[in-house]
Amino acid sequence: MSCCCSKVICNGCNFANQVREMEMRLKMSCPFCREPPPLTKAAVDKQRMKRIEVNDPVAMWREGIEQFKKGDYSSAFRYFTKAAELGNVDAHFMLATMYLDGHGVEKDDKKRIHHTEVAAIGGHPDARCNLASYEERTGNLKRAARHLIIAATQGSDESIKFLMHGFKKGFVSKDDLAAALRAHQAAVEETKSPQREAAEECGYDLGCEEWDNNDNAERAVKHWIIAAALGDDRPIEFMMEMSEEGYAERRLKMSCPFCREPPPLTKAAVDKQRMKRIEVNDPVAMYEEGVMQRQKGDYSSAFEYSKKAAGLGHVEAHAELAAMYLDGQGVEKDEKKSIHHTEEAAIGGHPTARCNLAYYEERNGDMKRAARHLIIAANLGEDASIKLLLKAFKGGLIDKDDLATALRAHQAAVEETKSPQREAAEEYYRNKRCR
């Protein structure tokens, strides 16, 4: 969305316009109204308020989102209501959410359903899925199936999960499911283009390369603007702080809290630093490289890095080796070695390894050892251990006192991890995901 005129442009078209500007050395501008893009939060807010003054429903919806993220639900509700009255579908969807949760307004199921229906009629696929959920809950399975099929034709990935659920439950037929899957695939294919694929590969990382390697702030900012326009949140605050504080000050501020080195901003730079650490036998770097190789599917390399890290005492690497010996990834399956590395990880304080040992002991009939492993895992704050302990209690494997002691120990371990700083960090990253 362009904040200057509230016009919406797809990723591919926006990317093509940005590339054209760079190749022709043109000034950055909105592809619709040709206004230069704002680079500070204050400028963005000012342009949005200008649009609100002329009753722009998209700007009102966007301001509602901003107020919602701040926790000012009354203001958010007011902006969403105005935008919805002017026909904004997304605003109707947000009003439905607020009536559901009681944010800024009393809970009202009737009004929630009304706004969900209006949003669905306006083409909002998530609203269709929500209506399907409501219809299923009230027993109207045919209507639920129809809503899901419509959402699938709009390209909603979520609808496919619900349709599979409906097929298993028996209220979506095999033919309807097949037709919906074809329609969903066709909708997804329609959104593809060379420009959009190129846009996905461009943006943030290219900007970071310009910043890190060439110290070219102007080109870096251009790439970051592309990334931000495509929905990537990473460059937004970075650019705003730079534009308000200056490049040099921002450079000084960004550093590792331990060695004071400036952090790498590209994947290539991260990989290079990790390999440097591996050269000096850093087990953490070896473990991280092993994880990266395993994610790529290079299990042989992953096994070698994990083995080296485990040889240097890295607990997580022992857990990785246990998993690889269990699944036969990069090495022949070997339960004995899998158990050995699980034990090493558990002794080193790995709570998931403790739960895995408990499972192994239970399978072998040693219930007392299984219970002890679970109690230790609970002391380490492992959530999965609580479910297993409750199961063990129901099965008569542990008594009431042991369960109560484990629950108290788990709660104490969880409380120890809490701090105002961590809570603030969780809130910060949660808000970034909601953008």
Among residues of the chain, what percentage have pLDDT more than 70?
A: 76
pLDDT grade, residue 254 (50/70/90)?
A: low
Distance, CA of 244 to CA of 250 (rounded, Å): 10
Residue 15 has pLDDT above 70, yes or no: no
**Among all chains, which residue has been given the structure tokens 């034709």?**
153
Residue 85 has pLDDT above 90, yes or no: yes
Closest Cα partner for 220 from 259, 251, 257, 193? 251
Closest Cα partner for 146 from 179, 115, 119, 168? 179
Name the least confident of 206-215, 259-268, 278-287, 397-406.
Answer: 206-215
Structure tokens at 435: 């953008």
Average pLDDT over residues 312-334: 94
| Residue 341 sits in the same domain as residue 406 | no
Per-residue pLDDT at 189: 86
Would 210 be classed as within a structural domain?
no
| Residue 317 sits in the same domain as residue 408 | no
| Residue 301 sits in the same domain as residue 361 | no
Q: Using the 3D structure, point to which of 315, 348, 381 is the last residue of a domain.
A: 348
Would 332 be classed as within a structural domain?
yes
Residue 13 has pLDDT above 90, yes or no: no
Would 291 be classed as within a structural domain?
yes
Would 201 be classed as within a structural domain?
no
| Residue 290 sits in the same domain as residue 155 | no
| Residue 17 sits in the same domain as residue 144 | yes
Amino acid 88 reads N
| Residue 113 sits in the same domain as residue 39 | yes
Q: Using the 3D structure, point to which of 167, 194, 221 is the last residue of a domain.
A: 194
Would 247 be classed as within a structural domain?
no
310 or 264: whose pLDDT is higher? 310
| Residue 331 sits in the same domain as residue 286 | yes
Q: Using the 3D structure, point to which of 319, 348, 377 is the last residue of a domain.
A: 348
Would 283 be classed as within a structural domain?
yes
DSSP code at position 104: S
3-class DSSP string for 272-337: HHHHHHHHCCCHHHHHHHHHHHHHHCCHHHHHHHHHHHHHCCCHHHHHHHHHHHHHCCCCCCCHHH
Expressed in angstroms, the distance from the first to the final Cα of the chain is: 13
277 or 17: whose pLDDT is higher? 277
| Residue 42 sits in the same domain as residue 126 | yes
Name the least confident of 78-92, 115-129, 196-210, 397-411.
Answer: 196-210
3-class DSSP state for residue 255?
coil
Report the CATH number at residue 288: 1.25.40.10
Would 337 be classed as within a structural domain?
yes
DSSP code at position 210: I
The count of domains in the chain is: 3
Q: Cβ distance 431 to 425 under 8 Å?
A: no
List all residues 6 or more positions away from 71 whose beta carbon is below 8 Å from its beta carbon. none
Residue 434 has pLDDT above 60, yes or no: no
Structure tokens at 414: 């969880």
| Residue 375 sits in the same domain as residue 338 | no
| Residue 333 sits in the same domain as residue 429 | no
Name the least confident of 12-26, 188-202, 285-299.
Answer: 12-26
Residue-wise pLDDT for 112-157, tens only, equals 999 999 999 999 999 999 999 999 999 999 999 999 999 999 998 8
Q: At what angle do helices 125-137 and 157-169 cross, to 10 degrees?
A: 20
| Residue 403 sits in the same domain as residue 337 | no
Q: Cβ distance 227 to 234 under 8 Å?
A: yes
Would 5 be classed as within a structural domain?
no
| Residue 293 sits in the same domain as residue 372 | no
Q: What is the pTM of this model?
A: 0.48
Name the least confident of 3-12, 179-188, 339-348.
Answer: 3-12
Q: What is the residue range of 427's domain?
A: 351-435
Residue 54 has pLDDT above 50, yes or no: yes
Average pLDDT over residues 162-168: 90
